[in-house]
Amino acid sequence: MAGLQDAPLVTASTTETSVPASTTAKQTFHVGTRKSLLARVQADQVVRDLKAAWPDYAFEIHAMSTTGDNNQATALHKFNEKALWTQELEVLLQGGELDLIVHSLKDMPTQLPIDLHLGCVTKREDPRDALVMKPTLVDKYKGLADLPEGSVVGTSSLRRIALLKRRYPHLKYADVRGNLGTRLAKLDSPESEYSAIILAVAGLERLGMGTRITAFLSKSNGGMLYAVGQGALGIETRKDDTRTAGLLAKIGCERTTLQALAERSLMRTLEGGCSVPIGVETEWISRKSGPLATQEVGVGIKPADEYHKLTGIAETSAGGTDAAGEDGDLTDEMIMRSIVVSLDGQEAAELETRRFVRSKEDADEFGWEVAKQLVGQGADRILKGISLDRGIIHEQGNA
């Protein structure tokens, strides 16, 4: 912080324009992101927040395409590493050419280079998955259950396919790739095979396409749990960069950060390097919640029916009339619903667990504990089966 305040306060320069050498520049922070429209919109959002918090500094966005972006023609299962989407940016961060990288948290590897870390998580948006119906079918079918036998649902995520197969075995699942716009265009084309596609709510909303959402999926609606980190932005920084840490302290969300750490710890403990169908839902419990408990799903804890939009807060109280959206009404107790599912949707280890989470260490421990319990339920057997299959197509797309 001190470093920031000491920094020179100077004349105007606008983001993304280089400052003429003759003028003294504002202290400039270099923000890295991928080149896709979604990545750009996300970086813009973070820079807007940073500018509002730190009007005396300048921010320059550097958007670059990465190995992942450049190899869209190559089957994604050949890329078993999320790092392909982040590596080039990380090298620039390590070299000091960038000060921070804005990621969709869901696309950020759980293992980062030793000198880098998740420096900040901003407030999570709606973390759920969305069902988007083909426009010509939208009046006829309101949900996946309504679709006739054999209808094709487009998604390339192992998690989405496995979870949906479990609940909707009458449907077919087919790959759909490309950025969000491309996927929607494929859905809309009258010749395409898709009746519907599944996309993250947050991505659609960030691009102003929230009106395309036919239904919001969740554990209680369709048995769909979201990906670790979905709906939140993660900012990667150098561990030793206290200047940028001070900057980010003003835009991070503590509640989301703890959720993110718990979810990522679960994933890190389970995945052992490869991407697997893991779904989660984490929420903070409001004051009127029930007792502390760890149980298998279906045994006692009443799941929250809906998300409190934009906050991911469990509305567990009977009337639900208290302002659950206010952090003041929340306890330090987190609920984590988790599932590890086989690719065919036939087998699953599933839990609903609560714990008091008051620190980053608590959050890490919570994820680790849940992972161990899932293993106790057979998650390791399911994961072993998947890594034998090796048909790994991971969550990462061309968002």
Ligand X SMILES: NCc1[nH]cc(CCC(=O)O)c1CC(=O)O
Residue 236: enclosing H or E segment and its boundaries? strand 233-238
Q: In the bound complex, which residue of the shown chain has the CB atom lying closest to ligand X? A: 203
Of 284, 310, 85, the C-alpha closest to 206 is: 310
Per-position x/- string for 226-255, each x denoting binding to ligand X as judged by CB under 6 A, each - no binding: ----xx------------------------
Nearest to 267 by CA among 277, 254, 252, 253: 277
Count of chain residues binding ligand X (CB under 6 A) = 13
By CB under 6 A, residue 316 contacts ligand X:
no
Amino acid at 245: A
Q: Which of 153, 164, 171, 202 binds ligand X (CB under 6 A)?
A: 202
Binding track over 64-103 against ligand X, x by CB under 6 A: ----------------------------------------
Inter-CA distances, 363 with 202, 255, 370, Å: 23, 10, 11
Q: Which two tokens stand for residue 269?
A: 């403990």
Q: Which of 68, 203, 222, 223 binds ligand X (CB under 6 A)?
A: 203
**Position 106 contacts ligand X (CB under 6 A):** yes
Q: Is residue 282 close enough to count as binding ligand X by CB under 6 A?
A: no
312 near ligand X (CB under 6 A): no
Catalytic: 99?
no
Measuring CA to CA, how many Å separate 176 from each of 63, 193, 195, 289, 311? 25, 10, 12, 40, 29
> Which range touches ligand X (CB under 6 A), out of 65-73, 294-302, 343-351, 390-398?
390-398
Sequence-distant (≥ 6) Cβ neighbours of residue 337 within 8 angstroms:
219, 225, 280, 281, 282, 297, 303, 350, 351, 352, 353
Q: Of these residues, 56, 69, 99, 107, which one is catalytic?
A: 107
Packing angle between helix 254-271 and helix 379-389, nearest 10 degrees? 70
Cβ–Cβ < 8 Å for 371, 266: yes
Between 228 and 349, CB nearer to ligand X: 228
Specify the residue, 69 or 362, whose C-beta has the smaller distance to ligand X. 69
What span, in angstroms and rounded, lies between the C-alpha atoms of 261 and 269? Answer: 12
User: Which one, 152 or 209, has the nearer CB to ligand X?
Assistant: 209
> Between residue 162 and residue 201, which ones bind ligand X under the rule CB under 6 A?
199-200
In the complex, which residues of this chain contact ligand X (CB under 6 A)? 104, 106-107, 199-200, 202-203, 230-231, 395-397, 399
**Which of the residues are catalytic?**
107
